[in-house]
Structure 1
């Protein structure tokens, strides 16, 4: 009699064991509590390099004639860049095109439609130069225009080797994120644990600030140029466990 009662109880207990095990497993797999913070670091730098583009655009009745005119003037422009101290490795053709030039028929809504006709050809050739001495940027621009460039762009200023200064911004970003985490955890009454993930994102932002001393040092005959300053910006996101 006792055995008959005991067996159902054991069977019932066996039915409940898997659910208890699953509950324990779910409790063990419960994700840790975390806090997510983002830090930012900024370092102001003075650019030491510039890029400028110098192009020649010519037109003629035939593509051959337009190309010949363009080549003659472009050789003078490129030669002038080399004479100005630009290294051969710092010169690169960035654009070249040959395209037809079409006539513009007069507008006459009530008259017959007149299709545009090819009346000539246009050749465009552009070279990009890296100027590693910022004192020469203005004189380089002046020289290429004097030698026949009629499509000039830039300058764009940048730091030739930004990694050491960018590392400074990264360190500032991590310190800023940890500072925020300590502040928030103290306010919430929790303790910080280990860093679970660290993700970086960075940006490069121009900062308009005139370099007046540089502008005054330039020759009065050169194109006035102000390189200004720029900011190297780094951001990091930390996910930290909390107790």
Structure 2
């Protein structure tokens, strides 16, 4: 009977964020579909033009989601029944702007967005530019951790570790983002644009990320 040892390897990495991601949402509404789409297109042009003006590439802003919904209001008629009234079409455009972490560049970008007539909803997060390298290092750490555990267990049990028989790994998406949240109240963002370039220097918290894999070895 084949004797085996099963060990879960854990990889843990602490890394500094070196990349900024600005997530934005634009909304355009009109009773006519074509006009709602035209407004959405104009908003995007305004946003792109404002960011190009501070040296960013024309295609720096990427679309992550775009959809068009119908908007309705509801009311009670004289008989007490609810009725729906068509309000128009709503174009929701979700966008992403990413660049190397630099507080001065971030402040300039925020000030520029604040001056833009499109007025997008905005959130800011900090991550790493080379997420693939982080994931690969995690897997190496997990494999090394599992082997050390297996060798220690075999040594303590007076047996010898044999060939590796299988590896079980769940290819789930990792959250490689700092817990630091950088936010501005919307009323401040669009009322204080002239002074926003003098933003405070911050150091985002290190990113703590871990991953696991299960390894099965033969016991000789």
TM more than 0.5: yes
Closer, same or farther in 2 for the Cα pair 1:65/1:129, shift >3 Å? same
Q: Would you say the 8 A contact 1:42–1:234 is kept in 2?
A: yes
SS at match of 2:23: strand
Render the CA deviation track for 1:111-167: whole Å, top value 9, x for unaligned. 342522224443333432222344223432342232134442432433222344444
Deviation at 1:36, TM superposition (A): 0.9
Deviation at 1:103, TM superposition (A): 3.0
Instruction: Give 5+ residue unaligned stretches, structure 1.
Output: 1-29, 212-218
Q: Would you say the 8 A contact 1:198–1:236 is kept in 2?
A: yes
Q: How many residues align?
A: 205
Q: Between the two structures, name the one with larger relative contact order (CA 8 Å, sep ≥ 6).
A: 2
Partners of 1:117 and 1:172 lie apart in 2 by 59
TM-score by length of 1: 0.66
Partners of 1:210 and 1:239 lie apart in 2 by 38
TM-score by length of 2: 0.72
Higher gyration radius (CA): 1
Q: Would you say the 8 A contact 1:34–1:242 is kept in 2?
A: yes
Q: Would you say the 8 A contact 1:86–1:131 is kept in 2?
A: no
Partners of 2:35 and 2:164 lie apart in 1 by 68
Instruction: Give 5+ residue unaligned stretches, structure 2.
Output: 182-193
- Mapping 1:142-153, distance limit 5 Å: 142-153=111-122
Closer, same or farther in 2 for the Cα pair 1:170/1:149, shift >3 Å? same
The structure 2 residue matched to 1:128, chosen from 60, 74, 96, is 96
Instruction: Let me know the Cα RMSD of the aligned residues.
Output: 3.4
Bigger share in helix? 1
